[in-house]
Amino acid sequence: MQDFDDIYAHVPADIPAWIEGLSLAMTIDGADADPVALVDVIHACDEQVIAQSPDAGLHHVDQAVDAARAAFPAWAGAPWTERRNLLETFADRLWDARVTLALLIAAEAGRPLRRAMSEIFFAVDYVRTIAAQELAETRYELGPMRARLTHKPLGVVGAIAPWNGPVILAVAKIANALLAGDTQILRPSPFTPLSALYMGMIARDIFPRGVFNVITGDAQVGAAMTTHPRIAKISFTGSTATGRLIAAAAAPTLKRLTLELGGNDAAIVLPDANIDLLCDAVYRISLENAGQFCACVKRLYVHETVYDAVVKGLGERLRAARPGSCFDAATTMTPIQNRKQFERVWHLIDDAVDRGGAILCGAQRHGGAGLFVPPTLVGNVDHGVALVDEEQFGPVLPLIPFRDEEAALRDANRGEMGLGGSIWTADVEHGLRLAERMECGTAWVNQHGAFSAALPMPFAKQSGIGTDYAQFGVAEHSRMMLVNARL
């Protein structure tokens, strides 16, 4: 992670007043769109209102579609290099605005400011990496026939982004669609609208009017986008349950879909694993960010010979976590972003204990303000307990000892989700062989959640539809066309 300690010198004395001074607005056809109302944005570190966000009505969906459709022919006809260059300019402008964007993420998501700044760093890299992708033409010669396969833009694309990565999970959707030649309507999560609104305002001076639009709103707005007959595709990141609803709603219009859904990733720790490497990674990826990452370790299968060492190593790291204001450099613990999810995480902990689970570390209720759940390890649980069977999306990790690696692999492959998984071992070749047998879209050896926009992100089981990132994410925002001539 980059060293962004100097970011704390930029924290305004009055955050709500500073946000109000930004005059954040929805972007439709390159201009402000008047909201139907203002809605409160709650700061997870203290549950106080930190800002008010414009709220869209259903008519804003139609307005945004009209603007995007009007802009589509010229944008689709623009040279690939022109679209690429504008995306690179967008990345430059995001980096120039990194302090503002990081402060907005911290405010709306409650994330410690250093981690918020890290999200901007990776988001800018994602835009630049995706902008560099190509969709090559394929030529065929079959006797007297000469054919070529090309990629054509789809039209208007709807993007629905989640609250756990309000910038990085939005910009990948933006870059994929705009590079492919589509125009786009982005609807951020109603929990974290601020950074997306600001990105929309940045984009006005870069892209032609109507190419990129940002509207806010609740599930009704998302549903209107999903069923809209003039939106050609929906790209969604969120829960599997919501993904099922989107797939069903999109079926009557046969929309293209890219769905990055839930994960219940398993990690298998073999006897020869590097325990320090494992514990550092699990804490950083799965617990420090309060488990609010789709592809983090959510089930930890540990060989019985190293089980105690793993509990000890993780416990040392967990006990050092510090809750507090996200604008304080001493804070390392991230709160749960919203109260509904906060209550669900505690329910999973209480349910596990009621079913015989043992708290190995954590689980003390935070006495101060904010939606903090201390990083928690739970032992003596197995399949049949909700904490193991379901995606917790919180800083609570079940540790399950095993003796036989084949049995551990079978247990890791249980369930309906298949986003990611990992094997931890000093024998990398053996780890690779086991990883290839994991039923997931991405399997790692001696790492977890290590993504790059230069690498594809496939999905398995009910963790998603389609493939994201690299040239595959761009291709999913296009349609193939074959032109065939007889000589």
Question: pLDDT 10s per residue in the chain (487 long)?
Answer: 455 668 999 999 999 999 999 999 999 999 999 999 999 999 999 999 999 999 999 999 999 999 999 999 999 999 999 999 999 999 999 999 999 999 999 999 999 999 999 999 999 999 999 999 999 999 999 999 999 999 999 999 999 999 999 999 999 999 999 999 999 999 999 999 999 999 999 999 999 999 999 999 999 999 999 999 999 999 999 999 999 999 999 999 999 999 999 999 999 999 999 999 999 999 999 998 899 999 999 999 999 999 999 999 999 999 999 999 999 999 999 999 999 999 999 999 999 999 999 999 998 887 778 999 999 999 999 999 999 999 999 999 999 999 999 999 999 999 999 999 999 999 999 999 999 999 999 999 999 999 999 999 999 999 999 999 999 999 999 999 999 999 9
CATH superfamily of 266-456: Aldehyde Dehydrogenase; Chain A, domain 2 (3.40.309.10)
SS3 content of the chain, % helix, strand, coil (to 5): 40, 25, 35
Selecting among 260, 288, 405, 476, the annotated active-site residue is 260
| Helix segments in 132-218, DSSP class H | 168-180, 194-203
Instruction: Note the pLDDT of residue 1.
Output: 43
Please provide residue 422's backbone torsions phi and psi, each rounded to the nearest 5 degrees.
-150, 155
Would you say the CATH fold of 266-456 matches that of 7-261+463-483? Answer: no
Q: How far apart are CA 452 and CA 79, in angstroms?
A: 26
Q: Which of 318, 306, 317 is nearest to 274 (CA)?
A: 306
Selecting among 108, 279, 288, 294, the annotated active-site residue is 294
User: What residues contact residue 232 under an 8 Å CB cut-off, 6+ apart?
Assistant: 154, 155, 156, 157, 182, 255, 256
Instruction: Note the pLDDT of residue 2.
Output: 53
Q: How far apart are CA 220 and CA 242, in angstroms?
A: 13
| Residue extents of the structural domains in the chain | 7-261+463-483, 266-456
260 belongs to the catalytic site:
yes
How many CB atoms neighbour CB 466 within 10 A? Answer: 19
Question: What are 42's two structure tokens?
Answer: 């709650």
CATH for the stretch 7-261+463-483: 3.40.605.10
DSSP string covering 170-184, please? HHHHHHHHHHHT-EE
Q: How far apart are CA 169 and CA 189, in angstroms?
A: 11
Specify the pairing of strand 478-486 against strand 145-153.
antiparallel
Q: Is the pTM of this model over 0.85?
A: yes
Which uninterrupted H or E stretch holds 71?
A: helix 58-77
Q: How far apart are CA 216 and CA 33, in angstroms?
A: 11
Query: Where are the extended beta strands (E) located within 24-113?
Result: 26-28, 31-33, 37-43, 48-55
- Is the Cα dihedral 22, 28, 30, 36 positive or negative? negative
User: Residues 55, 57, 61, CA angle at the centre, nearest 5°?
Assistant: 110
294 belongs to the catalytic site:
yes
